[in-house]
Amino acid sequence: MSEPTLDFYYFETCPYCQKVLNVILELNIFVNYKDIYEDTNNMQKLMYITGRKTVPCLFIDGIPMHESRDIMEWLRENESKLKKIAE
Q: What is the CATH number of the domain that holds 86?
A: 3.40.30
In a domain, 4, yes or no: no
Q: Which amino acid is at 57?
A: C
Q: What is the pLDDT of residues 60-76, one digit of tens each?
A: 999 999 999 999 999 99
pLDDT tens digit string along 30-64?
999 999 999 999 999 999 999 999 999 999 999 99
Confidence of residue 86 (pLDDT cuts 50, 70, 90): confident
Domain of 79? 26-87
Give the pLDDT of residue 71.
98
In a domain, 75, yes or no: yes
Q: Which amino acid is at 2?
A: S
Q: Beta strands 32-35 and 63-66: pairing type? A: unpaired
User: For residue 51, which amino acid is it?
Assistant: G
Residue 77 lies in a domain: yes
DSSP for residue 3: P
Distance CA 15, CA 68 (A): 10
The predicted structure's pLDDT at residue 29: 96
